[in-house]
Structure formats: structure tokens, C-alpha cells
Chain A
């Protein structure tokens, strides 16, 4: 009977301690958000720590719960409207920008690169054919990559070609 209740007591105390730690972490971050300059932040952080330390010896579980609830309401009241979030984290300025490019894809950024790439892939006999066409008129290239459907270029000269599809690579000219 007492074993069960003491286990429950310790479980409750452990949960309270975790709540206190998380509350302290959040209020400390908020203090940094409000007090941007370090010397102000250090002063406010010390004050915050004093407030937490003042209640550290309380033993009554219900009183501890009330103090934690009071602290959380104070935190909610003083939350910063525009907290600093690390850029890559959700809410930060760089979140979802510039995702990692897919592996194995070559980006050929202008017509010169496309032609150089193609001429490195075509046999010598037809190399002139590719180059001549480009000098005379804009070239729209269709890559027929079997068994995938043909990938038309959206803008002349920009091609997305997968490295391991190069082996089955064929060139058509419209």
C-alpha cells in the first residue's frame, strides 16, 4: 500500500521536475528573445534563476503544482511574438528553402553546356550535326530515355539528366 503510494509520489515528483526543467528552458529562451543584448540577458537570466531557486525546497506536492501552473501562466503572458528560431528549423527564415538537390542529377545550365554534354556523348560522325544546328537556330532537344517517357526541355538549353540513365541515352532533334 505504502509502496504503491510512494511510487506514485515519486512518479508525480519526477513529472513535476520535468515540467520545471522545460518551463525554465522556455522562459530562459524567451528572456533571450526579449533581451537581445547579452549584458541585459545575463542580468534577466540571473533574476529568473533566483525566482526558480527561491522555491526549490518546497516539499508539498500540491503547492509545487500550483507554483508550476503559476509559472507557466506567467510564461504564456510574457511570450515573445517573434522569437528567434534557428534558420533551418520550422519557423526560421531558411526553412524549406534550397532543399538538398537530388543525388545523381546533373544540371546543365545553358545551351553551351548542353551541347558540350551531348557532343561528349555522341559518336564522332554525328558531332558536327549537333553543333551546326545550334549555330543556325535555337535548338529544342528531346531526350528519349527509355523506358522513361521523353523529357522535353522547358527552356532551351536546360536539361536534367540522371547519371545512371546515361547508358540508355538517345538524342533526337525536332
Chain B
């Protein structure tokens, strides 16, 4: 037992810290991972506005990033539901019913999509 530890102590070698970067690990970025791609805010804004503009009951000229669906665009509550569902389809999201009910305006929608970890 003592011989084994003596032999192992002979074989043990110290770590040289400067050589660690040779293996080429990339730290927080991992190759071929789908977990660290996130949309930029501008892209989210553009796509949400496109979805809203394509809605048939909406006048595209009035759509801005801070527009309220019912007050500014004159839409119904059911139209809001339809728009939220279209945004869900656009960004491949699954929004729970209670959360989706609260999305009432463009800035809320943009903020929700941007902060969602799985929007793509």
C-alpha cells in the first residue's frame, strides 16, 4: 500500500496552466449546439410587424412597434387572439393561454417573444 502510494507519487505530475488552451474548447460557445442562438431585437420587431401588417383587417400604414391592437388599430378581442396565434406560428412558440390573453399590443408581443428562450 505504501509502495503503491510511493510509486504513484512518483508518477504524479504537476499541471502546467499555460497549455490548457491547446485542446481548443470554446468556453460558453459549443459547436453544433442549438441552445445559444437567440434572435436580435430588431429581427423580432421586424417579424412581429410583418405578421401584424399581413393581418387582413389591419391597415399596414398604421402599424408601428408601439401600437395597441384594440385601441390604435381598431381590432376586436378575437382579432387579438388571432394575431397572437399568428405570432406563435411565426416564432414557433407555445404560449400558455393565460399569458396569451395578456398580450394586447405590439410592444408586449415584441417583449414576450424577445424574452422567450425558445423563439426562433
Whether chain B is bound by chain A comes out as yes
Give me the interface of A with B, judged by CB distance under 8 Å: 17-18, 20-22, 24-26, 28-29, 49, 52-53, 85-86, 88-89, 92, 98, 100-101, 103, 106, 108, 113, 116-117, 120-123, 125-126, 129, 163, 166-173
Residues in B whose Cβ lies below 8 Å from that of A171 = 11-13
Shortest beta-carbon distance, A10 to chain B, in Å? Answer: 15
A96 to B30, CA, bound (A): 19
Give me the interface of B with A, judged by CB distance under 8 Å: 8, 11-17, 19-20, 22-23, 25, 27-28, 30, 33-35, 77-78, 80-82, 84-85, 92-94, 97, 100-101, 118
A108 to B24, CA, bound (A): 11
Residues in A whose Cβ lies below 8 Å from that of B80 = 21
Residues in A whose Cβ lies below 8 Å from that of B92 = 86
> By the criterion CB–CB under 8 Å, are A106 and B25 in contact?
yes
> By the criterion CB–CB under 8 Å, are B28 and A170 in contact?
no
Residues in B whose Cβ lies below 8 Å from that of A25 = 81, 84-85, 97, 100-101
Residues in B whose Cβ lies below 8 Å from that of A92 = 94
Shortest beta-carbon distance, A34 to chain B, in Å? Answer: 15
| Given pairs A101-B35, A166-B17, 16 additional interface contacts (CB within 8 A) | A18-B101, A20-B78, A21-B78, A21-B81, A25-B97, A29-B85, A49-B78, A86-B92, A86-B94, A92-B94, A98-B34, A120-B20, A126-B13, A167-B17, A168-B15, A172-B12
